[in-house]
Structure 1
Amino acid sequence: MSSRPRPTADTVLSPGIHDIDTGTCELVKDRYRPDGWLLEINGVPSSHIDLSDPTLLEFEYMRWIAHLMDARWTRADRLRVLHLGGGACTMARYVHACFPSSRQVVVEIDGRLAELVREWFDLPRAPLLRIRVGEARAVLSSLTDGTRDLIVRDVFAINRTPAALTTVEFTRHAHRVLAPGGVYVVNCGDTRDLTTAKREAATIGGVFAHTAIIADPAMLKGRRYGNVVIAGSDVPLGDSASLARDLLGGAVPAQIRRDDDVQRFAAGAKVLCDSEIPFPRASAPSLVTG
């Protein structure tokens, strides 16, 4: 284990607004936690990180993903994890703390943001964690078949996931890159009509044999804007009683729906296809070493 001292707010962090490649980011001190920080990108909360506790996940959807992981794998498992969307690398820090033998790649489109995150936060070094600068679809498309156990898609431009990262063609790339029994999980932000979540559930369900969705009951009933976690795998998902208990016991209690229930949730929703969207030119990916 590295003897490098943990960064502190006094010596490393730079609160305030900073220019990045895609606009600005702001690092804001968490007034309730001595080592907590909030990262906002272009005025939108993106990540929360606690320098003293990498297992603390302030955003509920991240806790739901963590519960799904904990129900799936043991601490001794050496996972190969791909994070599409970086932010402050909060989930990557969690994985490193809880599955310390794992190898991770974080894909972040904003090179300057990736540099700042490496500078500010106590991130694992390569080969435990590599940050790859590039567009998520271009990077995913370039990867070798069967080389990841978990793919987490958490990419937003302002408050929406780019459409090119939601289509059935993109989802097939995720399926191809996953090893047998691997899991693809996405963070879907949606409004009360749940149109996006239903279409994403239909799309993922059209590629993977098994699907699961996790959200709080108010969100699933169309009462508010929020996050829905959708997961796909070729083996059953979320069938442990402990997972259901963990989800209900959180600060924002959540429910999990599986397979047939997901199909009913997505009934009538149209699968998302590349033909619906324009494609901007992607930049060539690079690495932020660490």
Structure 2
Amino acid sequence: MGRQRERRETAGTDGGPVPGIHTIDTGTCELVHDRFNPNGWVLHINGVPSSHIDLTDPARLDFEYMRWISSLVTSQWPSTFRLRALHLGGGACSLARSFAVTFPDARQVVVELDGALAGLVREWFDLPRAPLLRIRVGEARKVTEALSASSRDLIIRDVFAGSRTPAPLTTVEFVEHAKRVLDSAGVYVVNCGDFPDLGMARREAATISAAFTHTVIIADPAMLKGRRYGNVILAGSDAPLGEDPGLARELLGGGVPAHLWRDAQVTRFISGAAVLTD
């Protein structure tokens, strides 16, 4: 115990990571040193692994689903694009931190419900400062509804309460709010956590398809075959989405290979699924 307290004091003096369990507004978070990476840290929120940060390599994403999202986004826009991104759900701001390197001119806002967590993340990790990256404390739906039309190119929803996304963030009414905030070629991306029956993923995909012209699904084969609980990435846009042939190859080449399903495959996947409503 004494050694752990010493590590906390040392880390705290330079504003760096402070390992251990910390009280936040929505419960507790725990910052754990990555035993496989001397520069890595894993953030757990209420006992659930939420984010991974590499202090020396902001572009590194250890969570597979985040790599899938990053691959999709970088296939849509060149690195010179002045990306306007809205992240619903903050955690350790892993994706926002990565995009700040991939898109140097990006302007990003991370919406985090837990103000205490947002403050700790700012203290612990070397996050870009405003206007490059702002953390806004608030509830994701209320913030989205208050934003100006056509003010974002990308919205990423990665919000969980336990193993599920809060229902108000899954409905077609909310997706329409997100679409209003997006530019005409904007992309809406969600991280859907689901069980082997894939019932929620089908309904969320049906909901996104009801709002956008194009829909894609990214997940590993075991997840798509209904063999386990895991992450399914869903994305919608009125612009062509996922057409870059390099994207499918990149997704197959990762540590956990993933499949990319586009419009026709998505249509088959959502057959009979009901759209989610308020």
By how many angstroms is 1:70 displaced?
1.3
Structure 1 position 180, deviation (Å): 1.1
Q: What does residue 259 of structure 2 align with?
A: 255
Alignment partner for residue 49 of structure 1, among 48, 53, 56?
53
In 1, distance between residues paired with 2:163 and 2:51? 13
* Pair 1:30 & 2:34 matched: yes
Runs of 4+ in 1 over 4 A off after TM superposition: none
Which structure features the higher share of helix residues? 2
Corresponding letter in the other structure for 1:233: S
Separation in structure 2 between the aligned mates of residue 114 and residue 66 of structure 1, nearest angstrom: 22
What letter corresponds to residue 138 of structure 1 in structure 2? K
Aligned with 1:124: secondary structure?
Answer: coil
Q: CA deviation at 1:235?
A: 1.1
Name 2:179's counterpart in structure 1: 175
Query: Shift in Å at residue 206 of structure 1?
Result: 0.1
What amino acid maps onto 1:23 in structure 2?
G
Check conservation: 1:184, 1:233, Cα contact below 8 A: yes
| Structure 1 residues 142-157: aligned runs within 5 Å | 142-157=146-161
What secondary structure sits across from 1:253 in the alignment? coil
Asked if 2 retains the 8 angstrom alpha-carbon contact of 1:146 and 1:179, the reply is yes
Q: Percent identity?
A: 68
Deviation of 1:9 after TM superposition, in Å, equals 5.1
| Alignment partner of 1:17 is 2:21 | yes
Report the 3-state secondary structure (helix = DSSP H, G, I; strand = E; otherwise coil) of the residue aligned with 1:105: strand
Counterpart of 2:153, as a letter, is D
Q: Take 1:204 and 1:41, find their aligned partners in 2: how far apart are those partners?
A: 28
Report how many aligned residue pairs link the two structures: 267
- The counterpart of 2:249, out of the listed 241, 245, 248, is 245
- Distance in 2 between the 1:252 and 1:25 partners? 27
Equivalent residue of 2:234, what SS?
A: strand
Q: Structure 2: how far apart are the matches of 1:170 and 1:86?
A: 19
Q: Encode CA deviations 1:235-263: one digit per residue, 9 max, x unaligned.
A: 11101110000000000000000111101
Q: Deviations over 1:3-28 (max 9, x none)?
A: xxxxx957322100000000000000
Structure 1: which 5+ runs fail to align?
1-7, 275-290
* Bigger relative CO (Cα 8 Å, ≥ 6 apart): 1
**For residues 273 and 84 of structure 1, what CA distance do their matches in structure 2 show?**
19
Could you list the per-position Cα deviations for residues 86-130 of structure 1 after superposition, in whole angstroms to 9, with x for gaps in the alignment?
000000001101101000000000000000000000000000011
CA distance in 1, matches of 2:143, 2:75: 28
In structure 1, what is the equivalent of residue 234 of structure 2? Answer: 230
Listed as ranges, the gaps of 5+ residues in structure 2 are 1-9
Q: Please report the RMSD computed on the Cα atoms of aligned residues, expressed in angstroms.
A: 1.0
Shift of 1:218: 0.8
> What are the Cα deviations for residues 195-228 of structure 1, in whole angstroms up to 9, with x where unaligned?
0000000000000000000000110010111000
If the length of structure 1 is used for normalisation, what is the TM-score?
Answer: 0.91
